[in-house]
Amino acid sequence: MVQSNQKLIFGNWKMNGSLEKWAQFSKTVFAQLNKNNIDLGRSVLFLPDLLLHQALQNNELLVGAQNHYFEDAGAFTGETSPELLSNIGIKYALIGHSERRHVFGESIEMISQKMKAAQRNSIKPVLCIGETLEQREANKVFDTLKNQLVSLTSQGAVGECIVAYEPVWAIGTGKVASLEQIEEVHQFLKENLKNELGVDVKLLYGGSVKPNNVKEILNIESVDGCLVGGASLTAESYLALFGL
């Protein structure tokens, strides 16, 4: 069993930040994680594309993309190429984040294609899945999640990945899922992931994770780590997630 102080704490900056903010953040976080002997592999920061190249220059903290297109190159004005991300040294990308699905209308078909594109370019996808409040209230949590997974595997989008369970109603709302809800869903997902993908996949929880609730969430055995939005935006609160 992985000790809770070895688990992953990934940050999603969404459409926030600037060159100055990243410079300050990365300097402080890198120094503190090192000083406290925290494995740098536990941290990946998913940054806006325009910060990625800069972030790779100092090669200190691991960084990833928040999205990319499913074709490698071509006449797709305004899209981000997974091949180019890989070319600049990106090893991780979020795929199918709830905001991509709900704000930008990404379909399961598109997400399947993106999973394959990531894997084809040696980028490890962090696949985000989760139910809406309506689906939870209609008792459709397990059906929804199973459908999100089966639709992917039936389209051949399998292989190396990390999965993040992010209930849509808990994202950016301050409404964190209860420990019982997280445990119940994670156990269900662990079993299904093993059946569907045939491999053990690391499973993260995301949705209003903050310094004051991260410890109890990481103590749940089936939680391999957290994917954190708002609380990853300052060095102070990101470090506090590691207990620093």
| Residue numbers at the binding site for ligand 13P (CB under 6 A) | 12, 97, 166, 171-172, 206-209, 227-231
Q: How far is the CB of 230 from ligand 13P (least distance, A)?
A: 4
- Put residue 95 in one of left, alpha, beta given phi > 0 → left and psi -120 to 50 → alpha: beta
38 or 176: CB nearest ligand 13P: 176
Which three-class secondary structure string do you get for 41-83? HHCEEEECHHHHHHHHHHCCCEEEECCCCCCCCCCCCCCCCHH
155 or 234: CB nearest ligand 13P: 234
Indicate which residue of 68, 97, 106, 186 is catalytic.
Answer: 97
17 or 120: CB nearest ligand 13P: 17
211 neighbors 233 (Cβ within 8 angstroms): no
- C-alpha–C-alpha distance, residues 68 and 195, integer Å: 28
Residue type at 149 in one-letter notation = L
Spatial neighbors of 142 by CB under 8 A, at least 6 apart, are 185, 188
Q: How far is the CB of 128 from ligand 13P (least distance, A)?
A: 7
Q: How far is the CB of 32 from ligand 13P (least distance, A)?
A: 21
CB-closest chain residue to ligand 13P = 229
Coil, strand or helix: which one is 164?
strand
Indicate which residue of 99, 106, 131, 166 is catalytic.
Answer: 166
Nearest to 16 by CA among 45, 58, 54, 57: 45
How many CA atoms lie within 13 Å of 26's alpha carbon, on the beta-carbon side?
Answer: 24
45 or 227: CB nearest ligand 13P: 227
Q: Examine the residue annotation and report whether 166 is marked as an active-site residue of this protein.
A: yes
Q: How far is the CB of 141 from ligand 13P (least distance, A)?
A: 18
Where in the sequence numbering do the catalytic residues fall? 97, 166
